[in-house]
Structure 1
Amino acid sequence: MDLGRSLTWTAERYPGRRAVGGRCPLTYAAWDAWTNQLARALAELGVRPKDRVLLSLGGGEPLASLHLALQKLGAVSVPLSFRFSPSELAYCIGDAAPVLVVTDASTAQAADKALAGLPPMLRVASGSSSDDTIERLASRQPSDALDVAVSDQDISVMLYTSGTTGKPKGVPRTHAAEHHASVAHMLQSGHARFDTVLGVMPLFHTMGLRTLLASVIGAGTWVPQARFDADEAMELITTERVDTLYLVPTIYWSLLHTGRLSEAKSVRKLAYAGASMTTALAEQLVDAVEPVSFVNHLGSTEIYTFTIGPDARAKPGSAGRAGVFSRVRLVDPLPGASPDDVVGPGEQGQIAISMASPEAFAGYWQRPDADAKSIRNGWYFPGDLATTDADGDLWVAGRVDDMINSGGENIYPDEIEDALVRCDAVEEIVVVGLADDRWGQAATAFFVPATGMAPERALAELDSFARERSGLPSLKRPKRYVAVETIPKSAVGKLLRRELSAGTFSPLADSAQASGQVGA
């Protein structure tokens, strides 16, 4: 099944159903017609099947409609982060070699700088404030479908990984992989027909695409929010009666801190992915929403589903078992291990996922070096470490790259963060390893103090909590505490530990400075 046909068939079944919510709602019949017009406008600009079109837009319905229009045209959508700097944008443009670049007012300045050093390239604006936009061109087109044959093995989208380490990598995904991932998402998260979902996860991220496409397949209502704002999101959730949320933990944390999440009586289903969730946050969400389902999804851009923890209420933090279209193993954590080097029951290993999954990509875009590192003998190695419990459920222990070797012992940040976030003096916390003469690496807790609390007092209370009430053994207690104004995150809310480990932070209070040495 190609994705353009998915939208058209849903529009044929339910033409009058509300497809897009929010301030500019659309029925399925109207959305199908509008994306046909956009596809014709793109064709008039010279875009042909299999061509790549780079979408650098803020988000919301304009980006979603352009993405769906490209599916109908058989071209490749390349949505990029609106937070990319000009140099990051230039790198991806040069790497993807698109035939067209689409920008809007929020990205135009960065695009100007990025394109200045590149060969001349066709570019068009998106937005309603000018006569010279892709939307104005589309409005003059017929609304019937183009006569284009699109195969489910054609490339639908090329997503760029967030680039938490090194340069972003292009991940081409076929229509079939995207469709299977969306069906899997519906089965695994409980996303049902006619559900109303908040579309705040960005469409340059697989979670955002999954929310959009599952909504289309299920004839649901997708309520867009172009940029996340917690108060605005709460208004959308309550006024649009959103019943399904699929978000990263940092967004859930922000919604909780509005103090209004318990007002969202329509919300029945919660799912999360993209990062681990602390037990404390999971418990607060259950108390506030009382969901009928609460799912932990472990996966990646490359293979959408690894494992599914179907009940985060009963087993907070568990990543569960392989998804409906997945096969997963834990193998020796050494670099270069074979997928046949399976660890014993209860032993820690690195996760390997079969590339035979219909949700899987086929390899990175023009990066044989990345393929060699991550793909071995038909299995994909994302770099995650985990163990299984007596029930056979998976528990992620962190990433190979995040492991801290302190005094010859391996320490994983997740366990420490889960314990320390319960301290009342802390709003947010992340643990990384910093170079240290004595320990090799010192487990260092970077935290945002609770609102209204002086950084020095918060540091002292956190230190006391860690020693006396956290339950952490001395080996796992941080050797250093640093209060900061914010924790660095990617555009989709993933923690950027590398920025902290590289020393790019401004301390509000630092136990190392207070004591004159690193250590506690």
Structure 2
Amino acid sequence: MDLGTVLRWTAERYPRRRAVGGPNPMTYAEWDAHTNRLARALADLGVRPKDRVVFLLAGGEPMASLHFAAQKLGAVSVPLSFRFGAPELAYCLRDAAPALVVTDASTTATTQSALGTLPPIRCAHVGDGAPAEAAPILELAAQQPDCALGVRVARDDVSVMLYTSGTTGKPKGVPRTHTAEFHAVLAHLLQSRQGSFETTLGVMPMFHTMGLRSLLASVVSAGTWVPQVRFDAEESLELITRERVSALYLVPTIYWGLLGTGRLHEATNVRKLAYAGASMTPTLAAQLVETLNPDVFVNHFGSTEIYTFTIGPDVAAKPGCAGRAGVFTRVRLVDPDPQASPNDLVAAGMQGQIAISMHSPEAFGGYWQRPDADAKSIRDGWYFPGDLAVADEDGDLWVSGRVDDMINSGGENIYPDEIEDALIRCPAVRDVVVVGLPDDRWGQAATAFFVPEQGMTADHAVEVLANFVREQSGLPSLKRPKRLVAVAQVPKSAVGKILRRELTQGHYEPLAETATGAAIGSRK
């Protein structure tokens, strides 16, 4: 099943049902017609089947409609982050080699700067503020007839190419076929227990798989997708209550924002919660359960490359648990060695790295023009994302860190997660991440970067945390951090993933810190 056909068939079944909510609603019949016209406009701008089209839009309905237009044309949708700076954007544009770049007012200046370093690429624009050389794509679409192009799209054609968030280096292109996207949608509907006609908030960006999954799942199930261009807690809550949103699929930081309004209890129609993209603390999970008392609360653990790894189906009962393999997935825990074979299984109860079968219909087929990345992450038909986990007595997985995050200090391997779990209990700590920094004596020194609790000075917070490490953390001397560094914020990606490389590369401004080699971490 290709995704253009998915929208067309839903429109045939439910032409009058509301497909798009918000201030500019559309029925399924109207949305199908609008995306037909947009597909023809893309074709008039020279886009052909299998061409790549970069979309640099803030989000909302225009991004969603253009994504479906590309599907109907048989082109490859390449949504890029509106948070990219010019150098990172130029890298992705050079790598993707698109036939067309579509921008809006929020991304025009950055795009023009990036394009200035590249060979000419044709541009189009949505809304006001279009550069002179950019075609006004909405105006072009309005002149087109409402009829399908008649392009035959194969299920194994590439639907979308997403770029990974680049937590460990340059972003990598991840081409995903129509088959992979469709099966990921079916998995999402089954695993988050969404029924027909759900109303969903569309605030997650579509350059991330969570945003696409919310959109496509809504269309497959004839639901209503309520777009929000960018997250604003008060605006989100207004949309959730006014539109009677019933299902949310968000990252933990957005849930924190909604709770921070003090009005989330007004969202009485929300019965189904799911999260992904980053870990959720037991405190946040408990507050959401207390506030909304949801019927369904799911932890989705996966990646851009293979949508589902595991599903934790009951966050209220097991907060933080990643659960077990998804409906289309096969998962193993193998030796943490970066070169381990998928057959090197760890013993029960032992920490291992996660391996996922590439035979999953949700899986990608390999990175875009990156055989080096394929060689690192794909071995013997299994994908190795670099995540570590432990299986409990029920067979459920608990994610415990990253292979790449391991710290070798004095010849001993230390994983940051255990240290972070201990330090976050300190009343002086609002957020914390532990990384290994070069050290003449130890090779690498475990260093804790933390955000002081509100109302506490950085110097006092360092003092309180240092005492906590010594007296209350329960950490053996081997695992006590050698340095404590107070910072204004922990660097994170758009979906809340910690960017450890920013810290290991020295991209931080200390507010206060202990001296290197302080007694908090000395070995005895």
Q: Same fold (TM over 0.5)?
A: yes
| Residue 160 (structure 1) shift | 0.8
Q: Give 1:67's aligned residue.
A: 67
Task: Identify if the C-alpha distance between structure 1 residues 250 and 129 changes in structure 2 by more than 3 Å, giving closer, same or farther.
Answer: same
**2:357 is aligned with 1:357:** no
| Residue 505 (structure 1) shift | 0.8
> Aligned match of 2:192 in 189, 194, 208?
189
Q: Give 2:160's aligned residue.
A: 157
**2:379 is aligned with 1:382:** no
Q: Give 1:338's aligned residue.
A: 341
| Residue 263 (structure 1) shift | 3.0
Cα deviations by residue, 1:358-409 (Å, 9 ceiling, x for unpaired): 0011111111111111111111111111121111111111110112233443
- Hey, what's the Cα distance between the residues in 2 that align with 1:341 and 1:111? 46
| Residue 494 (structure 1) shift | 1.5
Letter in 1 for 2:218: S
- Hey, what's the Cα distance between the residues in 2 that align with 1:192 and 1:467? 51
**2:259 is aligned with 1:256:** yes
CA contact (8 A) 2:104 2:129 kept: no
Q: Give 1:22's aligned residue.
A: 22
**2:34 is aligned with 1:31:** no
> Aligned match of 2:216 in 194, 213, 216?
213
- Hey, what's the Cα distance between the residues in 2 that align with 1:297 and 1:415? 22
| Residue 240 (structure 1) shift | 2.0
CA contact (8 A) 2:470 2:520 kept: no
SS at match of 1:313: coil
Q: Give 1:413's aligned residue.
A: 416
Structure 2's unaligned 5+ residue stretches are none
Q: Give 2:310's aligned residue.
A: 307
Task: Identify if the C-alpha distance between structure 1 residues 475 and 249 changes in structure 2 by more than 3 Å, giving closer, same or farther.
Answer: farther
| Residue 462 (structure 1) shift | 3.3
> Aligned match of 1:235 in 228, 235, 238?
238
SS at match of 1:137: helix
| Residue 471 (structure 1) shift | 4.6
- Hey, what's the Cα distance between the residues in 2 that align with 1:268 and 1:476? 42
Q: Give 2:81's aligned residue.
A: 81
SS at match of 1:40: helix
| Residue 303 (structure 1) shift | 0.6
CA contact (8 A) 1:448 1:483 kept: yes
CA contact (8 A) 1:278 1:418 kept: no
| Residue 502 (structure 1) shift | 1.5
CA contact (8 A) 1:244 1:267 kept: yes
Task: Identify if the C-alpha distance between structure 1 residues 288 and 444 changes in structure 2 by more than 3 Å, giving closer, same or farther.
Answer: farther
CA contact (8 A) 1:159 1:204 kept: yes
Q: Give 1:202's aligned residue.
A: 205
Cα deviations by residue, 1:422-471 (Å, 9 ceiling, x for unpaired): 44433322222222334433332222223333222333333444445555
Q: Give 1:321's aligned residue.
A: 324
Task: Identify if the C-alpha distance between structure 1 residues 219 and 439 changes in structure 2 by more than 3 Å, giving closer, same or farther.
Answer: same
- Hey, what's the Cα distance between the residues in 1 that align with 2:327 and 2:99? 37
Q: Give 2:438's aligned residue.
A: 435
Q: Give 1:110's aligned residue.
A: 110
| Residue 217 (structure 1) shift | 0.7
SS at match of 2:249: strand
CA contact (8 A) 1:321 1:393 kept: yes
Query: For the aligned residues, what is the CA RMSD?
Result: 2.0
CA contact (8 A) 1:512 1:519 kept: no
- Hey, what's the Cα distance between the residues in 2 that align with 1:224 and 1:454? 40
**2:43 is aligned with 1:43:** yes
- Hey, what's the Cα distance between the residues in 2 that align with 1:258 and 1:408? 48
CA contact (8 A) 1:430 1:447 kept: yes
Task: Identify if the C-alpha distance between structure 1 residues 287 and 424 changes in structure 2 by more than 3 Å, giving closer, same or farther.
Answer: farther
Q: Give 1:97's aligned residue.
A: 97
Task: Identify if the C-alpha distance between structure 1 residues 146 and 480 changes in structure 2 by more than 3 Å, giving closer, same or farther.
Answer: same
Task: Identify if the C-alpha distance between structure 1 residues 17 and 426 changes in structure 2 by more than 3 Å, giving closer, same or farther.
Answer: farther
- Hey, what's the Cα distance between the residues in 2 that align with 1:293 and 1:473? 39
| Residue 23 (structure 1) shift | 2.0
| Residue 327 (structure 1) shift | 0.6
| Residue 479 (structure 1) shift | 3.1
CA contact (8 A) 2:272 2:297 kept: yes
- Hey, what's the Cα distance between the residues in 1 that align with 2:294 and 2:101? 42
CA contact (8 A) 1:280 1:422 kept: no
Over the matched positions of the two proteins, sequence identity in percent amounts to 71
Task: Identify if the C-alpha distance between structure 1 residues 243 and 428 changes in structure 2 by more than 3 Å, giving closer, same or farther.
Answer: farther
SS at match of 1:512: coil
CA contact (8 A) 1:512 1:518 kept: no
Letter in 2 for 1:288: T
Q: Give 1:58's aligned residue.
A: 58
**2:448 is aligned with 1:449:** no
CA contact (8 A) 2:174 2:366 kept: yes
| Residue 283 (structure 1) shift | 2.2
| Residue 488 (structure 1) shift | 1.2
Task: Identify if the C-alpha distance between structure 1 residues 81 and 383 changes in structure 2 by more than 3 Å, giving closer, same or farther.
Answer: same
Letter in 1 for 2:306: I
> Aligned match of 1:269 in 254, 272, 296?
272
| Residue 501 (structure 1) shift | 1.8
| Residue 128 (structure 1) shift | 4.8
- Hey, what's the Cα distance between the residues in 1 that align with 2:487 and 2:356? 37
- Hey, what's the Cα distance between the residues in 1 that align with 2:43 and 2:231? 32
**2:310 is aligned with 1:297:** no
| Residue 248 (structure 1) shift | 1.7
CA contact (8 A) 1:280 1:421 kept: no
SS at match of 2:515: helix
Letter in 1 for 2:73: L
CA contact (8 A) 2:338 2:403 kept: no
Letter in 2 for 1:54: V
- Hey, what's the Cα distance between the residues in 2 that align with 1:313 and 1:469? 28
Equivalence map 1:113-152=2 (5 Å): 113-128=113-128, 132-152=135-155
Letter in 1 for 2:38: L
Cα deviations by residue, 1:458-516 (Å, 9 ceiling, x for unpaired): 33333444445555444444333222112211122211111012211111221238x97
Task: Identify if the C-alpha distance between structure 1 residues 201 and 83 changes in structure 2 by more than 3 Å, giving closer, same or farther.
Answer: same
Structure 1's unaligned 5+ residue stretches are none
